Structure formats: structure tokens, C-alpha cells
């Protein structure tokens, strides 16, 4: 750990004081659910998470909110829930890395005594009845810098990730088949998740036959779009012991925001913020990748899983393709990755997708898909086009006993 | 082939450039060249930048093929201009399978019908 601790971005130890734990998880109905606004999904998710913990809303003294593309989730949620005299309240935005970051800031607030019980929530309702999934994430007006990119044909996030993925393929020999193994492996997990939107088994042949969106991405390389809300409740490990659910202790965390400049020698598509965030989080927990039992990764695209596995150090840089195609993924695989089916097959609620599955696995509440060894669960968040990264190290055991 | 785009305050000088057939890079006092949209030098963070046109040659860093609703397929590229900065756009006058990483391209400008600003695109240079 000495080498990692010398890095100024690497937090060295858990903050002094109370250690944080996730004690509540609330998940609304998700998918093509049209009867609620994003704000209503958010309020429902917080109520569910608080009830799950065996707490009541009067126990909550902190609220962190995160809105998706549709907006509508913010400071007003405190009023919608009737929360009074909050010690912590803020809207947060780092795109797909926000959920993990909310848990980090809640953990810092708990550790310092700034607040005692903090709800962190994401909700979005981009789907409208009778409108296509693509339209839900469609491009806005063609003005200025974003407009010139769109006018040049690079009109969506999928195109930008496709350019990232192709660079990795051309540099390291990563293949289409290898990306397909990620989609196939996660679908096998989704088959055991009652909340998954896509549960039918998937073959590599079906993957290759699915229509192109932007090459090298087939439809089945891309996440789905969901309406819904998910919240977690963070409090102190001390308090967690007397609550309704097994606590999920927060052992380590990290963030990385590379701040890419688009110039010669830029490593876009080759290395992401995960390369700094992951080792920082594991070092804080006093663990290494070989200690990790369950890996819940942000998977907006198959490629995001591949680059994150490399950057976290599960395989050497450039070997992610061979790694995922070599019997690593899926319920029978060597590494338990995206055990709920992820954003590719199950539900897309930004960073709450990997986080919610991580909490279920750490608690031992994942039903048919429960992983037997779940002492250390690693969770990633990824925002922008590989611009923002967050990592959490979770465990059912209190720090020092993982 | 390209879509419509309107200028705003941040892109007014850039689109004055594309109207002349120029892609304006940003140069600091030390001579570092940054992307057209840089507001601080991407090498030394200097805030005082002046516009300087790219010479127009570049190399494909990565590529993709967008399958569009009208059934056409558009080759997308990240190009490293010979000066160093990258520019993201499409290749016109070529099929996606003809566009490869490392291919040489030349800057070109196109304008959508109906009064849009001109947009920088690329053409393949015969090897
Ligand atoms: Zn400079």
C-alpha cells in the first residue's frame, strides 16, 4: 500500500470517528412505468429505503439528490417528503459517477458527525408512452460547440463511446466477439433477476445479429433506458447494528476526473479514471483486487465494463478482451461481475444500478443469483464519456474484519 | 451530409473561420496549440489565446460507423491534426470500411442547405 499512499489522490485511511454503513435500499418499480414523474419516483424510493432500514422519515437529517436527463429531482424533494431541519441537503451532478459519490459524501458527513442518517436518491423518467427509447435520450438544439459536433454526425453519447471502443480494439486487438461475451454473460445473470427488463437467454450469434447502432456497437452493446428511482440510506455502523437489515459497511472509496484535453498522446479509449479511482478505494480499505468477491460495474456499454476491469487491475492493460472471453463472466464464470444483469439487461438508473445490486449481494439478499462469497464487493460509477469515475468498496463486515 | 448548426457567443469566431474554410486552433504565448474550443491552453493553462488556422492535414486516431434512421451509414472519426490537437467529425466521400485508424485525411468544410454555419469535415487522402 506504500506506493499507492504516496499518490496525493489516494486517501490513506477511513476518516476518524463514526464509520459509515448503508442500512436501507429502496427500489421503485422500474422500466416502462409511465404513471409517475421523476420527483414522485424519487420520493417513493426514499420512503422505501427508509422503511427498509426500519427507520422513519423523522430519523433522516440529510438528503442528497441526483437527477437524470429528464431532470425534476432536486432540493424540492425535501419538501415533497416533509423533511425538516436537515443538516445536509444538496443536488449533485457528476453523471453516472454521482450515485457512488453521494455515498462518499454521506459517509464523510456521518464520519464527521455533520449528520446522522442521510438518504441518497437518483430517479429519472425519460421514457414517455408511445415514444421510442432513442427519442428519450435524443439530441437537443444544434447550437454552439455541442451543435457543431452533432452537425458533424456525432450526435449522441453512443457515437463517442463507439470511437473510444474502436481505439481500444485497434490498439490492443480487442474484438467484436469479446464485447459480445460481456452482453451474453450479463444476460445470463439477468435471467435470475426478477427486476430485469430483459431476461431471455442470449447467444453470441444473437448478439452479432442485433442491429448496428454505431459500429462497433450493436444494439446489445448499449444499455437500455428505464423510468424509476433508487435510494440508499447511510448512517453510522454503530447505529446500523440496531436496525432492520444487515449493514453494508463502506470500507473505501475514490473518485477520478481525468480532465482530458484532446491532443496528441491523449489516452482516450485506452485508460479511464478507474485506473486511479479503483486503486485509491482499495488502498483505503486495505485490500487489493485479489480480495474482491463481487464486482458491480457501471455498464452503459459493454466496452465500459472491459476498460473498467482493466483499469481496476483484474487483468493487464490491453488484455481485457481476452479476459472477458475466457470464461470469466456469467454465473459460472471465474469473476462475479454485474450479477444483476446490469444496465445492459436489467435496469438503467445510472450509478444506482451497480450500487443497488452491490447492496443486495453484500447483504446476501440476491436470491437465486446470490454469490456464495460476498465479503468484498467493488462498485464503479462512470459519467460523461469516461470523464468521471467513482469507486466504492463495500462489505457485510465492519472495517478490520473484512 | 452535415447537419444544421447555429453560432452562439462562444463559437462566433470559430464559425467566422469555417466560413473562410479555416479550422481555427488556439495558440498561447509559448506557441502551444490547443483545440478550437479551448479557453485555456491545454498544455500550460495560459488563458490568453489567439486563433490560428490549422494547415488541414491529419491522421485518423479512431473511427466508427453511425447507422442512421434514413438507412445511410456515416463514417465518424477522431482526427489528430498535424499540429497536435484532435478534431471529432465525419469523413465525406467515403464508405465506412474505407476509413481506418492511421489513414491520412484532409480538412474540408460543408454547409447544410438552408443557411447553416459551415462545418469542418474530412476527406480521405489517396495513399
Ligand atoms: Zn501553452
pLDDT digits (tens, 9 = 90+) for A54-109: 999 999 999 999 999 889 999 999 999 999 999 999 999 999 999 999 999 999 99
Task: Give start and end residues of each alpha helix (H) in A210-341.
Answer: 237-240, 274-285, 302-312, 320-325
Helix (H, G, I), strand (E, B) or coil at A369: helix
Q: Which of residues 292-351 of A touch B (CB under 8 A)?
A: none
Q: Is the pLDDT of residue A11 over 50?
A: no
The per-residue pLDDT for A10 is: 45
The per-residue pLDDT for A3 is: 40
Per-position DSSP letters for A80-120, written without gaps between them: HTT--S-SEEEE---GGGHHHHHHHHHHHHHHHTS-S-EEE
Q: Is the pLDDT of residue A6 over 50?
A: no
The per-residue pLDDT for A129 is: 82
The per-residue pLDDT for A263 is: 86
How far CA A111 is from CA of A191, A235, A249, A372, B55, in Å, comes to: 39, 9, 12, 30, 56
Residue A261 touches partner B, C-beta closer than 8 Å: yes
Is the Cβ–Cβ distance between B86 and B63 less than 8 Å?
Answer: no
Write down the catalytic residue from A161, A207, A298, A312. A298
Residue A268 touches partner B, C-beta closer than 8 Å: yes
Q: Tell me, yes or no, whether B3 lies in a domain.
A: no
Q: What average pLDDT does the segment A341-363 reach?
A: 98
Q: What average pLDDT does the segment A156-180 reach?
A: 98
Q: Tell me, yes or no, whether B6 lies in a domain.
A: no
Residue A5 banded pLDDT, cuts 50, 70, 90: very low
Q: What average pLDDT does the segment A334-363 reach?
A: 98
Chain A CB contacts of B3 under 8 Å are 142, 150-153, 155
Dig out the grid coordinates for A188 from the structure: 445470463
Q: Tell me, yes or no, whether B92 lies in a domain.
A: yes
A348 is catalytic: yes
Helix (H, G, I), strand (E, B) or coil at A45: helix
Q: Which of residues 60-99 of B touch A (CB under 8 A)?
A: 61-67, 74, 76-78, 80, 84-86, 88-90, 96
Q: Is the pLDDT of residue A8 over 70?
A: no
Measure the CA–CA gap between A83 and A10, rounded to whole angstroms.
35
Among A143, A147, A149, the residue with its CB nearest the CB of B88 is A149
Strand-strand pairing, A217-218 and A212-215: antiparallel
- From the number of C-beta atoms within 10 Å of its C-beta (0-12, 13-18, 19+), residue A2 rates as exposed
Q: What is the pTM of this model?
A: 0.94
Average pLDDT of every residue of chain A:
93
Measure the CA–CA gap between A78 and A63, rounded to whole angstroms.
7
Dig out the grid coordinates for A347 from the structure: 435496469
Is the Cβ–Cβ distance between B65 and B74 less than 8 Å?
Answer: yes
Q: Is the pLDDT of residue A122 over 70?
A: yes
Residue A17 banded pLDDT, cuts 50, 70, 90: low
Q: Can you list the domains of chain A with their CATH numbers?
A: 20-127+226-237 (3.40.47.10), 154-223+248-402 (3.40.47.10)
Q: In terms of residue numbers, what domain contains B52? A: 12-124
Among A150, A164, A263, the residue with its CB nearest the CB of B86 is A263
Q: Tell me, yes or no, whether B117 lies in a domain.
A: yes
CB-CB under 8 Å, B34 with A263: yes
Q: What average pLDDT does the segment B78-102 reach?
A: 97
Is the Cβ–Cβ distance between B17 and B39 less than 8 Å?
Answer: no
Per-position DSSP letters for A171-212, written without gaps between them: HH---HHHHHHHHHHHHHHHTT-TT-S--S---HHHHHHSPE
Is the Cβ–Cβ distance between B92 and B122 less than 8 Å?
Answer: yes
Q: Is the pLDDT of residue A279 over 50?
A: yes
Window from A91-95, A141-145, A174-178, A346-350 with minimum mean pLDDT = A141-145
Q: What is the CATH number of the domain that holds B67?
A: 2.40.50
Helix (H, G, I), strand (E, B) or coil at B5: coil
- From the number of C-beta atoms within 10 Å of its C-beta (0-12, 13-18, 19+), residue B62 rates as buried
| pLDDT tens per residue across span B44-81 | 999 999 999 999 999 999 999 999 989 999 999 999 99
CB-CB under 8 Å, A145 with B64: no
The total number of structural domains in chain B stands at 1
Dig out the grid coordinates for A386 from the structure: 469516461
φ, ψ of residue A147 to 5 degrees: the values are -65, -40
Q: Is the pLDDT of residue A7 over 80?
A: no
Q: Is the pLDDT of residue A260 over 90?
A: no
**How many Cβ atoms from other residues are within 10 Å of residue B127's Cβ?**
5
Q: Tell me, yes or no, whether B27 lies in a domain.
A: yes
Helix (H, G, I), strand (E, B) or coil at A378: strand
Q: Where are the strands (E) in A278-387, listed by range?
A: 294-296, 336-337, 377-383
CA dihedral for A339, A342, A347, A351, sign (positive or negative): positive
Is the Cβ–Cβ distance between A24 and A50 less than 8 Å?
Answer: yes
| pLDDT tens per residue across span A133-150 | 666 665 456 899 999 999
Residue B120 touches partner A, C-beta closer than 8 Å: yes
**How many Cβ atoms from other residues are within 10 Å of residue A3's Cβ?**
9
Residue A402 banded pLDDT, cuts 50, 70, 90: very low
Dig out the grid coordinates for A346 from the structure: 436489467
Residue A264 banded pLDDT, cuts 50, 70, 90: confident
Window from A129-133, A312-316, A321-325, B61-65 with minimum mean pLDDT = A129-133
Q: Is the pLDDT of residue A16 over 80?
A: no
The per-residue pLDDT for A134 is: 62
Find the A264 Cα to ligand 1 centroid distance in Å. 14
The per-residue pLDDT for A387 is: 96
Amino acid at each position: 500500500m506504500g506506493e499507492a499512499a504516496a499518490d496525493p489522490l489516494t486517501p490513506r485511511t477511513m476518516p476518524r470517528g463514526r464509520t459509515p454503513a448503508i442500512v436501507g435500499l429502496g427500489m421503485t418499480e422500474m422500466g416502462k412505468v409511465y404513471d409517475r414523474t421523476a420527483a414522485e419516483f424519487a420520493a417513493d424510493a426514499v420512503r422505501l429505503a427508509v422503511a427498509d432500514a426500519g427507520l422513519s422519515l423523522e430519523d433522516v437529517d440529510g438528503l442528497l439528490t441526483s437527477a437524470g436527463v429528464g431532470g425534476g429531482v432536486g432540493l424540492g424533494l425535501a419538501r415533497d417528503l416533509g423533511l425538516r431541519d436537515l443538516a445536509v441537503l444538496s443536488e449533485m451532478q457528476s453523471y453516472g459517477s454521482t450515485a457512488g459519490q453521494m455515498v462518499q459524501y454521506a459517509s464523510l458527513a456521518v464520519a464527521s458527525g455533520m449528520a446522522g442518517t442521510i438518504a441518497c436518491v437518483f430517479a429519472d423518467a425519460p421514457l414517455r408512452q408511445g415514444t421510442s427509447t432513442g427519442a428519450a435520450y435524443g439530441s437537443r438544439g444544434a447550437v454552439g460547440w455541442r451543435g457543431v459536433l452533432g452537425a458533424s454526425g456525432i450526435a449522441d453519447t453512443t457515437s463517442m463511446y463507439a470511437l473510444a471502443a474502436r481505439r481500444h480494439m485497434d490498439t490492443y486487438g480487442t474484438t467484436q466477439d469479446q464485447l459480445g461475451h460481456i452482453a451474453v454473460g450479463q444476460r445470463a445473470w439477468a435471467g435470475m433477476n426478477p427486476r430485469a427488463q430483459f431476461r431471455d437467454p442470449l447467444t453470441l450469434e444473437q448478439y452479432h445479429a442485433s442491429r448496428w447502432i454505431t459500429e462497433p456497437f450493436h444494439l446489445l452493446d448499449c444499455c437500455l433506458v428505464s423510468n424509476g428511482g433508487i435510494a440508499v440510506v447511510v448512517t453510522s455502523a454503530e447505529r446500523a447494528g440496531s436496525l432492520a437489515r444487515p449493514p453494508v459497511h463502506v470500507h473505501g472509496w475514490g473518485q477520478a476526473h481525468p480532465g482530458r484535453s484532446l491532443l496528441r498522446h491523449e489516452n482516450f479509449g485506452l485508460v479511464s479514471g478507474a485506473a486511479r479511482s479503483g486503486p485509491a478505494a482499495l488502498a483505503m480499505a486495505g485490500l487489493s483486487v485479489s480480495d474482491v468477491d463481487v464486482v458491480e460495474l457501471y455498464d452503459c456499454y459493454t466496452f465500459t465494463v472491459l476498460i473498467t476491469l482493466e483499469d481496476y487491475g483484474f487483468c493487464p492493460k490491453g488484455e481485457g478482451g481476452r479476459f472477458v472471453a475466457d470464461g470469466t463472466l456469467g454465473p459460472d464464470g471465474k469473476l462475479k461481475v454485474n450479477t444483476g444483469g446490469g444496465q445492459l439487461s436489467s435496469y438503467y438508473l445510472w450509478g444506482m444500478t451497480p450500487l443497488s445490486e452491490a447492496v443486495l449481494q453484500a447483504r446476501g439478499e440476491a436470491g437465486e443469483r446470490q454469490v456464495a462469497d460476498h465479503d468484498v464487493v467493488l462498485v464503479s460509477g462512470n459519467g460523461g464519456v469516461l470523464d468521471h469515475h467513482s469507486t466504492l468498496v463495500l462489505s457485510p463486515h465492519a472495517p478490520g474484519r473484512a | 451530409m452535415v447537419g444544421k448548426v447555429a453560432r452562439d457567443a462562444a463559437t462566433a469566431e470559430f464559425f467566422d473561420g469555417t466560413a473562410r474554410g479555416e479550422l481555427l486552433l488556439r495558440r498561447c504565448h509559448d506557441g502551444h496549440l490547443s483545440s478550437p474550443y479551448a479557453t485555456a491552453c491545454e498544455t500550460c493553462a495560459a488563458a490568453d489565446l489567439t486563433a490560428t488556422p490549422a494547415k488541414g492535414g491529419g491522421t485518423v486516431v479512431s473511427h466508427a460507423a453511425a447507422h442512421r434512421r434514413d438507412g445511410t451509414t456515416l463514417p465518424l472519426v477522431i482526427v489528430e491534426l498535424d499540429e497536435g490537437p484532435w478534431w471529432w467529425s465525419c469523413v465525406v466521400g467515403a464508405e465506412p470500411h474505407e476509413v481506418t485508424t492511421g489513414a491520412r485525411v484532409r480538412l474540408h468544410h460543408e454547409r447544410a442547405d438552408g443557411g447553416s454555419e459551415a462545418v469542418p469535415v474530412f476527406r480521405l487522402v489517396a495513399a
